[in-house]
């Protein structure tokens, strides 16, 4: 259809304005955005000073040899090469993975069990929720000192074992005793927090799903695996990812539990409690090798990123839509019986 032009050659008055063209913003319109920007500017200023700048500076520092006082000396990728050849670093990596596995897997399982118990209309549920969350807000330094007394050779843990006829355990002197004691502290601190996260996920499941499963004749096991756990998948993913991030950054438990003035024995006998972050702290703040510590921090970041992606793929990788529903499961089960 031809465009009707006026005598001056301009488009007709009834022609629509081309999409994407807007009137230029007036100075008064721009000024209206100034107060909101000023209101949120403190956050960005603080983030730039205490967040973005330290991250960028740590990248720069990882390529420097610096003791925090003298001049920096550029060494490039040599810091990372020295790190890969450091046997103590690899020992700390192995310790971190072992402690992470010993603590995270039982902790998530116990948290899920506690969440189901709290969700089953138990009496004094509110008091239990508060009690489960208390360890997470308690000073970990103070509680590590308490656990140090509990796991001492003549402490409460060995006294309880001897009371039932078992030999005492070298909680703070043997390889697996050290790893177990640190893992128990981590479980004690985080199991209640994750239980409340799982409980929130359980309470968010619509009751119609349980009623539909009951009408279709699903038993408790089928309801758990076909209704509850698929609905909890996002919550399990969140708990697994955050537990992995926290578990690979273990520091306070080992640092306070095995505190020593001798640099070489940090982490307990045989350095079996030496974790990556504890070794980073030792190198950077006790031996003043800040460039080496920065390089170790970025290697730890890469490790956490890889494990986070693996957790994401394992927990959220499968498609829920491929799972048959309750009705489909029961129909197939009945069809097999009819044959």
Rounded-to-integer distance, Cα 231 and Cα 320, Å: 9
H or E element at residue 311: helix 290-316
Give the pLDDT band of residue 157 (cuts 50, 70, 90): very high
Query: Is the same domain home to 35 and 149?
Result: no
Exposed e or buried b per residue across 303-330, where buried means at least 16 C-beta atoms within 10 angstroms of its C-beta: ebeebbeebeeebeeeeeeeeebbeebb
Say if residues 186 and 253 touch (Cβ distance below 8 Å): yes
pLDDT of residue 16: 53
Q: Which of 166, 176, 187 is nearest to 250 (CA)?
A: 187
Tell me whether residue 16 is in a domain.
Answer: no
Tell me whether residue 210 is in a domain.
Answer: yes
pLDDT of residue 215: 86
Mean of pLDDT values over 173-187: 93
Tell me whether residue 97 is in a domain.
Answer: yes
Rounded-to-integer distance, Cα 101 and Cα 311, Å: 13
pLDDT at residue 278 greater than cutoff 90: yes
How distant, in Å, are the alpha carbons of 43, 202, 216, 246, 267 from that of 250?
A: 28, 29, 47, 7, 12
Tell me whether residue 4 is in a domain.
Answer: no
Say if residues 256 and 144 touch (Cβ distance below 8 Å): yes
Tell me whether residue 87 is in a domain.
Answer: yes
Mean of pLDDT values over 264-270: 74
Could you give phi then psi for residue 109, rounded to 5 degrees? -65, -45
How distant, in Å, are the alpha carbons of 54, 79, 196, 290 from that of 70?
A: 19, 18, 49, 12
pLDDT of residue 118: 87
pLDDT at residue 259 greater than cutoff 90: no
pLDDT of residue 33: 76
pLDDT of residue 325: 44
Hunting for tokens 């045989």 — which residue is that?
270
Give the pLDDT band of residue 35 (cuts 50, 70, 90): confident
H or E element at residue 94: helix 87-119
Pick from 44-58, 207-221, 246-260 the range whose average pLDDT is largest: 44-58
Query: Is the same domain home to 55 and 167?
Result: no
Say how many residues make up the chain: 339
Rounded-to-integer distance, Cα 113 and Cα 201, Å: 13
Domain boundary among 76, 95, 111: 76
Query: Is the same domain home to 35 and 108?
Result: no
Say if residues 102 and 179 touch (Cβ distance below 8 Å): yes
pTM for the full model? 0.79
Query: Is the same domain home to 264 and 200?
Result: yes
pLDDT of residue 214: 84
Could you give phi then psi for residue 76, rounded to 5 degrees? 65, -135
pLDDT at residue 261 greater than cutoff 90: no
Domain boundary among 76, 99, 130: 76
Dump pLDDT digits (tens) for 200-239: 999 998 888 888 888 888 888 888 888 888 889 889 989 9
Rounded-to-integer distance, Cα 84 and Cα 114, Å: 42
Query: Is the same domain home to 49 and 145?
Result: no
Q: Which of 151, 215, 229, 207 is nearest to 159 (CA)?
A: 151
Count structural domains, the chain.
2
Q: Which residues have CB under 8 Å from 99's CB, separation 6+?
A: 179, 182, 183, 186, 247, 250, 275
- % of the chain beyond a pLDDT of 90: 46
pLDDT at residue 88 greater than cutoff 90: yes
Query: Is the same domain home to 121 and 260?
Result: yes
Give the pLDDT band of residue 19 (cuts 50, 70, 90): low
Residue 212 tokens read as 């539909």
- % of the chain beyond a pLDDT of 70: 82
Tell me whether residue 1 is in a domain.
Answer: no
Query: Is the same domain home to 157 and 293?
Result: yes
Q: Which of 188, 232, 186 is nearest to 209 (CA)?
A: 232
Say if residues 190 and 136 touch (Cβ distance below 8 Å): yes
Mean of pLDDT values over 64-83: 92
Domain that holds residue 93: 80-338
What CATH number is given to the structural domain containing 323?
Answer: 1.10.3720.10
pLDDT of residue 331: 46
Query: Is the same domain home to 71 and 200?
Result: no
pLDDT at residue 260 greater than cutoff 80: no
Tell me whether residue 300 is in a domain.
Answer: yes
Query: Is the same domain home to 182 and 85?
Result: yes
Mean of pLDDT values over 143-168: 91
Query: Is the same domain home to 60 and 159?
Result: no
Query: Is the same domain home to 257 and 243?
Result: yes
More confident site: 328 or 131? 131
Helices (H), 138-206: 140-150, 156-163, 175-203
Q: Identify the bridge partners of residue 65 per DSSP, sorted by sequence position.
A: 73
Rounded-to-integer distance, Cα 275 and Cα 94, Å: 8
Query: Is the same domain home to 170 and 314?
Result: yes
Dump pLDDT digits (tens) for 304-339: 999 888 878 876 655 444 444 444 444 444 444 455
């Amino acid at each position: 259809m031809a465009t009707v032009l006026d005598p001056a050659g301009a488009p007709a008055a009834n022609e629509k304005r081309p999409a994407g063209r807007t009137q230029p913003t007036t100075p008064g319109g721009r000024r209206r955005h100034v107060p909101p920007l000023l209101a949120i500017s403190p956050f960005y200023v603080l983030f730039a000073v205490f967040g973005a700048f330290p991250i960028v500076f740590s990248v720069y520092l990882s390529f420097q040899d610096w003791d925090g006082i003298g001049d920096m000396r550029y060494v490039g990728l040599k810091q990372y090469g020295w790190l890969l050849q450091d046997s103590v670093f690899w020992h700390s990596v192995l310790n971190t993975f072992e402690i992470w596995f010993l603590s995270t897997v039982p902790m998530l399982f116990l948290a899920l069990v506690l969440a189901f118990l709290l969700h089953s209309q138990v009496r004094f549920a509110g008091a239990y929720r508060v009690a489960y969350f208390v360890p997470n807000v308690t000073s970990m330094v103070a509680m590590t000192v308490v656990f140090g007394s509990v796991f001492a050779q003549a402490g409460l843990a060995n006294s309880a074992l001897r009371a039932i006829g078992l030999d005492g355990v070298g909680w703070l002197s043997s390889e697996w005793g050290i790893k177990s004691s640190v893992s128990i502290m981590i479980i004690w601190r985080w199991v209640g927090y994750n239980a409340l996260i799982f409980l929130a996920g359980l309470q968010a499941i619509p009751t119609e799903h349980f009623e539909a499963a009951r009408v279709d004749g699903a038993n408790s096991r089928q309801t758990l695996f076909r209704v509850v756990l698929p609905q909890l998948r996002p919550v399990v993913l969140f708990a697994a990812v955050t537990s992995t991030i926290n578990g690979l950054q273990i520091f306070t438990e080992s640092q306070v539990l095995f505190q020593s003035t001798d640099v070489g024995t940090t982490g307990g006998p045989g350095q079996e409690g030496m974790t990556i972050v504890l070794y980073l702290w030792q190198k950077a703040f006790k031996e003043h090798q800040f460039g080496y510590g920065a390089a170790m921090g970025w290697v730890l970041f890469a490790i956490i990123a890889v494990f986070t992606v693996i957790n994401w793929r394992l927990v959220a990788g499968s498609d829920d839509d491929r799972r048959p529903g309750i009705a489909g499961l029961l129909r197939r089960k009945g069809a097999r019986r009819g044959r």
